Structure 1
C-alpha cells in the first residue's frame, strides 16, 4: 500500500512538472562558465536592479506570448485585451470578465519556481536592490520578495475606472460566483493574463457587478495593451535605475517599450546590463553580458552555498 501511494505521488509530481515545462521554449544547456561570469558580475554590483518578464513564469506553467512554438501567439489566434476596446465596449468587458472568471482558480493557484525563490533569497542576502516585473502573476511576492514593483500592475486587484474603489481579486471572484452560479468546471489551461476560451453562450449570459460606490465599470489593475504605465510608477523606476549599479534582465524579449525603456535608461547612465533569456531580445546589442538560456538553469545556481560547500569539502 505504501509503495503504491509513493508511486502515485511520484507520478503526480512528474505530471505536474510536465505541465509546467510545456510552455518553456526549446533551449540549449547553459555552460558553467556563463553562470560563473554572471555570478562575478553580480558580486561586483550588489545594488543591481532586476527586470523580469514572462519567461521566468513559463516554468511555473504560465505561458508567455511570443516564444516560438509554445507562446500564446504560436498556439492560438488569441490576442490580448486592448485597453481602448475594454473601455468602449460592454461586450468586450463581458467577454474579458467571463474568461477571467473561469481562468482565475488555475491562474491564482500557480506557484513560484526556482528563479522566483532565488531572487527572493538574493534580496535577503542584499545581493540585489529590488525587482521590477512585467508580469501580473504576483509570483515574486509569493516567493517572498519584498521590494517588488509591478510595472504592468497586478491581476490580484480590481479597481473602478471612475472612483477610488478597489477590491481583492479573490473577494471579487466570490461576488462573480454568486452572480453566475451556472459557471462550473474551469478549463485546465491558462493564459499570461488569466484569460481562457469559453463558449459564447456562457459569455452572453455572464453578469458583471458595477462599482458599488459609483456604479461605473470595474477593471483589473493591469496595464492592458495600448494603455500607459502610470507616470508615478515610471518615475519611481527611473529613480531605482539611477540609484542602482546596473540592470539584470530575466526572461523578457523586451519588445514592449515599457520594459525596453528601462534598459535605455540604464545605458544612458553608462551602467552595465546583463540579460538571461531564451533567444534574442530587443536589447542584445546593448548588453554587456547576454546568456541565451532558461532562467531556471542559471539563476538558482548563482551563489549556491550547498554546491560551494561540497566543492570545499
Structure 2
C-alpha cells in the first residue's frame, strides 16, 4: 500500500458548499451523542491533522476541504531517495525546510482534544488509537501515566514519526541529535534560524514539520553523512525522517496492525481528518465491511461524506471532547480530572479560513 497525494472528489466538495447553510448541531447535543457512542467501550479511534491545530500545528486543508496553501508541492519518496544529483537537490530542499520547521513541532504541546482522548485510552474505553499525525502529541498527553511500551502497544502512528531519522542503510538517529548535526554542518542556516526566532518571524509550518519560504536558495544546504555508514567504510547522505512520504509504502506490519485494530474493536470513531489519504480511508471501508458503527467528528467535507453507515457531526473536536469525557467517565478519577484541565489552545494564524 503506497501513500498517494490526498484528494477529495470534486463532487463532495461541491455538495458541501451547497449544504453549508444546513442546520447545525449544538456542542451540547454533539457531546451527548458522542458520549453515547463511546459508552459501550471498545472503540477504535482514527485521528488526523485537525486534532493538532489547537496545538499550533497547521492542517493541510481548511473547512472547505481545499488546500490552505495552493502552492503546496510535496516531495515524493522516489525523489527523496534518488541517488542522482537531482535526488540530492530534493534532499537539500526537504532538509532545509524540515530543519527550520521541526522546532515548532518539537516544542508543541498537547491540546484539550489530545488529553480527552488520552483519558478515554487511560480508562480503556479506547483500546486502540490510530493516528495519521507525525507530531507525537498523543504520546505526550499520556507520558505521565503510561510507559513507552504501553504507548507502543496501544497507539499506532500510521504514517510514522518526525522524531527519528534513518539513512538508506537503516541506521536510526533520534531527531534532536540529527538536528544538532544539521546545525553543525550548516552554520549559516543556524544563524538564519536564530535570527527568525530573535525577530519573532514564524514561517508557515506544515503538519509534517517543514516550512514554506519564498525566494530562498538552499543550494548550499549540507545534508550530514551517516556516521555509522562512515564507520562501515561508505559515504551516505541519503537520510529521511521515519515518516511515510507520498509514493512510499506503509510497512506491512503497520498495515496489518491497523486492520487488526479496527477488526478487534466494536465501533470506530474518526476525528480531525478529511480521510483524503487512502491509507486512512481504507480503514473506514474495512470497518463498514465488518458492519461496525462509525461516527465521524470533523468540520468541513471529507472523503467519507455520503457513505452509507457513516454518521457525521460537523464540529471542531476542541468544542466538545472534554464534555464527552465527563459524560462517559464522570468525575471520580483524579488522573482523568487532571487531564480534563490540561492542554494548550494556541491555534496557528488564520490564512483566510480556519484550519480543520
TM-score category, normalised to shorter length: 0.7 to 0.9
The correspondence for 1:90, drawn from 78, 85, 88, is 88
TM-score by length of 1: 0.83
Pair 1:291-2:289 in alignment: no
Change (3 A) 1:106 1:303: closer
Q: CA deviation at 1:303?
A: 2.7
Q: SS of the counterpart of 1:74?
A: coil
Q: Is the 8 A contact 1:276 1:295 kept in 2?
A: yes
Q: CA deviation at 1:70?
A: 9.6
Q: SS of the counterpart of 1:75?
A: coil
Q: Which structure is richer in relative contact order (CA contacts within 8 A, separation 6 or more)?
A: 2
1:32 match: 28
Change (3 A) 1:307 1:246: closer
For residues 186-205 of structure 1, what are the structure 2 equivalents within 5 Å? 186=196, 187-188=201-202, 189-198=204-213, 202-205=217-220
Q: Provide the C-alpha distance between the structure 2 equivalents of 1:255 and 1:265, rounded to a whole number of angstroms.
A: 16
Pair 1:249-2:243 in alignment: no
Q: Is the 8 A contact 2:116 2:325 kept in 1?
A: no
1:141 match: 139
Q: CA deviation at 1:31?
A: 3.5
1:268 match: 289
Q: SS of the counterpart of 2:228?
A: coil
Pair 1:233-2:227 in alignment: no
Range 207-216 or range 97-106, more displaced: 207-216
Q: Provide the C-alpha distance between the structure 2 equivalents of 1:94 and 1:51, rounded to a whole number of angstroms.
A: 33
Q: Provide the C-alpha distance between the structure 2 equivalents of 1:305 and 1:292, rounded to a whole number of angstroms.
A: 20
Change (3 A) 1:306 1:119: closer
**Could you list the runs of 5+ residues in structure 2 that have no partner in the other structure?**
1-23, 144-150, 230-234, 332-356
Pair 1:159-2:155 in alignment: no
For residues 1-313 of structure 1, what are the structure 2 equivalents within 5 Å? 30-44=26-40, 46-68=41-63, 73-88=67-82, 89-144=87-142, 146=151, 147-161=154-168, 163-183=169-189, 184=192, 185-186=195-196, 187-188=201-202, 189-198=204-213, 202-214=217-229, 215-216=235-236, 217-284=238-305, 285-304=307-326
1:22 match: none
Q: SS of the counterpart of 2:212?
A: coil
**Could you list the runs of 5+ residues in structure 1 that have no partner in the other structure?**
1-27
TM-score by length of 2: 0.73
Q: CA deviation at 1:283?
A: 1.5
What is the number of residues matched between the two proteins?
A: 280
